[in-house]
Each structure stands twice: as structure tokens, then as C-alpha cells.
Amino acid sequence: MPQPQELYDREYFLSDRCEGYEAFEACRGVSRVKGRQVALLAPGPRVRILDAGCGRGEVLFACARAGADVAGIDLSEAATEIARETLAEVAGSEIVRGSVVALPWPEATFDRVLCADVVEHLDAAHARRAVGEFYRVLRPGGVLLVHTSPNRVFRRLTWPLAGPMLRAAGLRENAERIDAWLADALRYHVNEQTLHGLRRLVRRAGFADLRAWLDPDAVRGGEHHLTAGLDSSRLVASLSALTAWRPVRLLLSNDIYVIGRRP
């Protein structure tokens, strides 16, 4: 079932619960994570981009500044209002209130589709329908980029051990912030993903040339409100260095990416 929309009010999008708010507050900027998404989308002139679950619209704003034609959709009334404010000066931008499981565009409309921090909010059936819709509205050769966080493996296996380690290392404040965020996220995350599960979801929709990975920068450069200061800890620095080894990354990283191409 879709999540109750009262969870996604203006306060939600204009707070740390919605990733990237600090950067957005500063001149509609993008966070480290969202900046990575913009780079992967490779926006440019004559590139048509859909942000499916566009939230505040800062990714579309960055893509439009690079010359792309942009459109966004979000089920939240608050999100569409904020996104329209964000893109008010972008000629030709299109922001629609609607569902990612029933996109209001015809087949083969877009060159790129972004689905960032959305699938974890959809139950399994709606996630499958949404990815099918992304396939439908992409042109042949078009690219889907999916990002999600947190990694379910981190929540279930790593954090029960890592939390006490951070506290013992004198990082109690960070540990408590992460504890609180993870607990709060369960109110609206009904389908948190693993690397392999997300790749399987995209592959089964018919996408080809799949790339799936976990970002090796497990602390997001120490710039995120949950990771600020962690990069200065010797313990965390040692663990982060191990993320170059893929099995460790599966346990420590929380930023999951999948890219697929419509044949």
C-alpha cells in the first residue's frame, strides 16, 4: 500500500529527514549524494530528464542549469509545491503531482529517468510497477538511475555492532543521531533494499547493461548531518579504508546505485 501522504508534508522536505536539505537551503544547491546523481545523469542540451519522486526539485534545477529539459513528478502536494518554487525560473520545466506507478507521459518520452530515495518508500508490488513505468517512458537506449539508502544489510547486521563501537570510541553524539534517524525512518521506509535485491528489481523490468554498486565513501565525506566529524576518527577512517574491499562495502556503505539501459 502507498504510504500515508501526511508523512510527507512541507516539514518533512524542509528538514534533515529528506536527504540534502542543508545544501538545498543554501541557494537550491545539491548535497554530495545528489551531486553524484547529477553527474551520473550527465545532463546537457537536448537531454530530456525525468525525476520520478522529485522532492524539492534541486536535482532538476542542477540538470536544467546544465542545459537539460526537465520534468518531475511526486505524490506529495508539499513536494510539488516546493519543486515548482525551486524551478520557477526554469523555462519549460514541468512538475506534476502524481504517482510513479502511473506516469502521465507517453512511451519513449525521456532520455534519462532518476529514481532517487523513492523505492524504499514503496511496497514491493508498487516498486515493481514503478520500475516498469520507468522502462515505458524511456526512449530506446535511455538510461535509468536508481539510488536508495540505507542499505538493509547495514541496518540489520552492521549497525547493532557498529553503534556500540562508536560510543566506545567517544562518538556517542554521532551514534545517537544515527540511532534516532534509523528509528524515525521506519515510519516511512517499508521496503529498504540490498545491493542484490535492487539490481534484481531493475533487471526483471527488462533493463540491460546493468551496473550496480555501493558507494565506497561510507561516511559521505563527513559532510552529511549523520556523519559530520566521523571522518576525523581513527576508528572510522580505518573502517572506511576497508570499503575498497567489496565484501566490507556490502556491510558498511549505505548508498546503493543501479544504472540500467532500455534496449
The pLDDT of residue 141 is 98
> Do residues 152 and 192 touch, judged by C-beta distance below 8 A?
yes
Provide the grid cell at 219: 561516511
As a whole number of Å, the CA-based R_g of the chain is 18
Q: Residue 75's pLDDT is what?
A: 96
pLDDT in tens, 200-259: 999 999 999 999 999 999 888 878 888 887 778 887 878 778 788 888 899 999 999 999
Q: What is the pLDDT of residue 251?
A: 93
How far is C-alpha 18 from the geometric centre of its chain's CA atoms?
10
Q: In the prediction, which pLDDT does 3 show? A: 57
Which CATH superfamily hosts domain 5-151+190-222+253-261?
Vaccinia Virus protein VP39 (3.40.50.150)
How high does pLDDT run on average in the chain? 94
Task: Judge if the upstream peptide bond of residue 106 is cis by omega within 30 degrees of 0.
Answer: no
86 or 223, greater pLDDT: 86
Question: In the structure, what pLDDT confidence band is assigned to residue 13 with cuts at 50, 70 and 90?
Answer: very high
Q: Is the whole-model pTM more than 0.75?
A: yes
Query: Where would I find the H helices in the chain?
Result: 10-13, 21-25, 32-41, 58-65, 77-86, 124-137, 152-153, 159-168, 172-185, 195-204, 234-241, 246-252
For 191-209, write each residue's pLDDT tens digit.
999 999 999 999 999 999 9
